[in-house]
Amino acid sequence: MAYKDLQDFLKLLEKKGELKRIAAPLAPYLEIAEVTDRVSKAVGPALLFEKPKDARFPVLTNMYGSYPRMHLALECDDLDALGRRIDAVLEMEKPEGLIDKLKLLPKLAKMAGIFPKTVSTGRCQDVVLTGDAVDLSILPVLTTWPGDAGPFITLPVVITKDPVTGKRNVGMYRMQVYDKNTTGMHWHRHKGGAHHHALSKKSGERLPVAVALGPDPACTYAATAPLPDDIDEFLFAGFLRQAPVELVRCKTVDLEVPASSQFVLEGYVEPGELRWEGPFGDHTGYYSLADDYPVFHVTALTHRSDAIYPATLVGPPPMEDSYIGKATERLFLPLIKKQLPEVVDMSLPLEGVFHNFCFVSIDKRYPGHTRKIMYAIWGLGQMMFTKFIVVVDANVNVHNTAEVLWRLGNNVDPRRDVVIVDGPLDVLDHAAPLPCYGGKMGIDATKKGPEDGHMRDWPDSLTMSADVKARIDALWGELGL
């Protein structure tokens, strides 16, 4: 059964021992972050700070900070199986005959109940503050690192519509709180929200924006997912939760938000208005550099009467966002394999913070195959930001970083097996000589032969004989080890 709201999800976490309540009056300024950081590094539970210092609302952190909680959030036992379910729906083709049409009926029936629907009222509007009554200081927004420019909203579900087509985009972008009714809007130029902003600048009209804080877990995850432009994020959330996302119309802007959200910020971004934003302690483990970003003006603040403020802490991995990223890796791998069927498996290791490393194993078949894979991955949506791609043979476990590094050290001739190209990089990459643009490296760590220009013999890997392994397996319990 789909969670009706965040509170419903927290009840399950508590029942399963995955939630810890903190009664101590810790401050939203640095103290809650320090506790969360220590618990995140230990892969500890979700944390509900019941009485933050000088705050009206509880604070929730580390909600997604483990594989078991990601499974619970997305209501699945196995992320790979959920990825295959996504692929099965997306691969549906137009049926040719009666039998094919009948075979599609079960899938279509399941799809019928996942489309978002608009309802007349929602708990997110228990309390409605507009005009001069808007005051963002009632939110216990965290300041997470000493060098941060201020408090940042870190788990916002940001909703806009294309000014031309009216198509909705849902994304997640950090928001620095400037004062009682304005924040920054950290729209990266490659993302959907930034595209809508660019279109509004061309027309010279304000862009309406709504920000939902704390809808059900699937909605929050969907805002982070690298979906194609023509797939609605709330439809995707409905697919994940196998129930429609209920939306309610905003009070001051022509947008819809999840009705169960804890808080909703409504407002607009003026075309061309920028303000200095940052620095911010980011998931790279460094402070992202300050720069000019659009300004979000809040015209209404609505919330549930029992609202909980959700936040995520980012910093040196592993952190909560690491598990969100790994979920995305597993859910979208089947789609990548559909385009590149020679791909066996893929890993975006935690240390690479999503965009620095990609380890991929392939069924290598011909000269230049590894380079074909590298170039193809750099052409796949947000995979274009990947700085280092390491390609290994099909038998290598890409989720074992030590094994990948061992193969890389032994199988690579730097002059022959390394490719350097230029292209787009993540805006947070401070090593690049230019913002969002720089060099990338592809490394062929596969076994080489004459077709690769390697004219020497390639040695066999060390492997114990199967009969000896079987004998020792049988004796293992008697060895006292």
User: Locate tokens 């700085």: which residue?
Assistant: 387
Q: Which residue has the tokens 């240390």?
A: 351
d(CA 143, CA 176): 10
Give the pairing type, strands 59-61 and 46-49: antiparallel
Q: Do 391 and 418 form a contact (C-beta atoms < 8 A)?
A: no
Q: Which of 37, 148, 282, 417 is catalytic?
A: 282
Closest to 29 (Cα-Cα) out of 148, 121, 134: 148
Which residues, 6 or more positions from 344, have their beta carbon under 8 angstroms from its beta carbon?
361, 362, 363, 394
| Encoded tokens for 371 | 């380079």
282 is catalytic: yes
138 by DSSP, 3-state: which? Answer: helix
**Which residue is it, tokens 């290791």?**
349
Locate the DSSP E strands across 175-245. Answer: 175-176, 182-184, 207-213
Give the distance from CA 188 to its chain's centroid.
Answer: 14
| E strand residue ranges, 343-469 | 343-347, 357-362, 388-393, 418-424, 437-444
Strands (E), 350-400: 357-362, 388-393
Q: Are 165 and 330 in contact (CB under 8 A)?
A: no
SS (HEC) of 287-300? EECCEEEEEEEEEE
3-state secondary structure at position 62: coil
182 vs 112, 139, 155, 340, 409, CA distance in Å?
A: 39, 13, 17, 45, 51
Whether the upstream peptide bond of residue 318 has omega within 30° of 0, thus cis, is yes
**Catalytic center residues:** 282
